[in-house]
A and B are shown apart, each in its own frame.
Chain A
Amino acid sequence: ETGVTQSPTHLIKTRGQQVTLRCSSQSGHNTVSWYQQALGQGPQFIFQYYREEENGRGNFPPRFSGLQFPNYSSELNVNALELDDSALYLCASSSQGGINSPLHFGNGTRLTVT
């Protein structure tokens, strides 16, 4: 069974730039969600994708957007990067649309915005 994989593992961007992070879900999982984890804090929910559509969103601005592909992999895009976007970005996959099903996380992408 292949777990959740994310790429790249680390990334450095400049304020104002755009970034794309990628995630491959665990085999058998059809739902992907993204979380942001600032240093010293717990992960915060960004949004979830199920059947290639966003079906839930946390308190994040529209410059955070995503995609889910037919093979259930996903991308997180962040436009107009700000210094506060520096964080660990975690992808999690689950089954059943994420309802009453444990989420399984990847090891994240560490984004640094300078």
Chain B
Amino acid sequence: DAKTTQPPSMDCAEGRAANLPCNHSTISGNEYVYWYRQIHSQGPQYIIHGLKNNETNEMASLIITEDRKSSTLILPHATLRDTAVYYCIVRASNDYKLSFGAGTTVTVRA
């Protein structure tokens, strides 16, 4: 069973920042937060992951609250190509698999 809760859908405007929330209130100390996205007809694409510190890479930023019970994925300047299903996944450090939930369908509008 997925350990995360995400809104089923959200819209955002092209060029604006997109803030995608995720709740993981039962997260354990050895569990990381991973984000993937899946563009239509493609495989899931790794975006970013973190344990407790905020993380940033060329694709996005991950903000994890101090109590680690929720996080936000930030796409700084959304483009039409960012339209996809975004999955927030909690994964233990010794777990080899990913447990996907339903994700958030993000639609970027011009």
Contact = CB atoms under 8 A, between A and B. Distances in A.
Interface stretch (A11-19, A71-79, A102-110): A102-110
Nearest to B42: A107
A99 B93 contact: yes
Given A31-B96, A48-B97, A56-B97, A41 B102 contact: yes
Interface of B: 2, 32, 34, 41-46, 49, 87, 93-103
Contacts of A28: none
Q: Is the interface of B mostly helix, strand, loop or mixed?
A: loop
20 contacts: A4-B43, A33-B96, A35-B98, A42-B87, A43-B98, A45-B99, A48-B96, A55-B96, A58-B97, A90-B43, A92-B44, A94-B96, A100-B32, A102-B46, A102-B49, A103-B98, A105-B43, A105-B44, A105-B45, A108-B43
Given A45-B97, A45-B98, A56-B97, A106 B43 contact: yes
A107 B44 CA distance: 8
A43 B44 contact: yes
A65 interface: no
Nearest to B93: A100
Interface in A66-114: 90, 92, 94, 97-100, 102-108
A44 B102 CA distance: 11
A44 B100 CA distance: 7
A38 to B, nearest CB: 11
Contact of A104 (B46, B95, B101, B103): B46
Nearest to B48: A102
A104 B99 CA distance: 14
A33 B43 CA distance: 13
B43 A98 contact: no
Contacts of B99: 45
Nearest to A104: B46
Contacts of A4: 43
Nearest to B44: A105
A92 to B, nearest CB: 8
A99 B94 contact: yes
